[in-house]
Amino acid sequence: MAARSCASHASRRTIPAGGALSHSIELEISELLTFDNVLIKSANDAKIGTCYTKLIGRQGDPGEFVDTPLDKSNSNPAPVDPEQPAAMRATQQRYQTAMKRLAEMQPGDADEGLPSSIETNPWWIEPEYLESDQQPRYLLYTNQQLLGYSLLERVRSGGQMSGRFHASEDYVDYAHIFEALPEAENECFEANAREAYEIYDEKSDEYRTRFRKLSAQVAELKLCVTDEAGRRLMTSEVRLEDLSKHYNDQSERWLYVTHAESQ
C-alpha cells in the first residue's frame, strides 16, 4: 500500500479582550493530518507564536488536549523595535558607498580578504563635536572681517591643523571664491598630469588661467587665524576648502592651517 502524505490546513480567529484577557488575541488555527491518520490541531498566537492548546488524536476519537496555563500565555510583551543605527554624515555615507563599490569591483576569489561589513566610522572621519565640549575656537579673518571659525580638531605632524569650518554671515560674500577653487585646482593639476604623458587638452590653458585668477583673489583676502583671545597665529599657510556646493552638504567646509615655525 502506498504511504499517505501529510495534509495541513490553517485559518485565523480573533478573541476580543475581556475577563482574564487584557488584550485581544489573534489565533492561528492549524490542522495537520499525519501519514498514520493522526490529526493534530493547534491554536497559536499569530503575533508572538505562543501555542495555547493542542488536540492530538486519530480521526473519530476524542483525542487529548495539551493546554498552556493562561497565566503563562496571557502576556502582552512590549513591541521590540530594532535598534536604529546612528545617522551617518555625508562623509561617512560617501565612504560607505565607495567601499561597497570597491568590494563589487574585486574579483570573486578576492572576496575572502574583504570585511563582512562596511565600517561606517573609521578613525579618519571626524567625530561630531558639541558646543558643550568646550573645544577652543580659531577664528578666520579677511582684512579684519570675520569669516567664521573652526575647532581645528585634527592635528598632524609638521605643525598642520585642520577641522570643519563654521561660516559667519559675512562669509556669503566670499563663498563663490572658495567653492570654485577646489575644482579649478583639480582641473589644473589634471591638465598638468596629462601633459606629462603627452596627452594634450585644448582647455588646459583655460584651466590654468582660472586657477591662477582664483588663487590671486584668495591672496588678496590676506587670510589670518587668531585664537579666541585675539592672538594671531603665525602661519605659513591658511587654506579654506569649501565643498558644500559640490556635495550639497553645508558641513563640508574645511580649514587647513600650517604653523610657520614648523617650516
Judged against a pLDDT cut of 50, whether residue 114 lies above it is answered with no
Give, as one character, the DSSP assignment of residue 232.
B
Query: What are the tens digits of pLDDT across the range 26-59?
Result: 767 777 666 666 667 777 777 776 766 666 666 6
Q: Where are the domains of the chain?
A: 7-73, 135-262
Cα–Cα distance for residue pair 96/88, rounded to 1 Å = 10
Where do we find the cell 561617512? 92
Higher pLDDT, 10 or 194: 194
- Residue 238 vs residues 17, 142, 162: alpha-carbon distances, Å: 70, 11, 10
The pLDDT assigned to 209 comes to: 94
Average pLDDT over residues 234-257: 93
Higher pLDDT, 49 or 124: 49
Query: What are the tens digits of pLDDT across the range 153-209?
Result: 999 888 899 999 999 999 999 999 999 999 999 999 998 888 888 888 889 999 999
End-to-end CA distance of the chain: 96
Query: Which of 24-33, 90-99, 245-254 is most confident?
Result: 245-254
**Residue 32: burial class (beta carbons within 10 Å; 0-12, 13-18, 19+):** middle
Judged against a pLDDT cut of 70, whether residue 111 lies above it is answered with no
Query: What are the tens digits of pLDDT across the range 165-179?
Result: 999 999 999 999 999
The pLDDT assigned to 101 comes to: 65
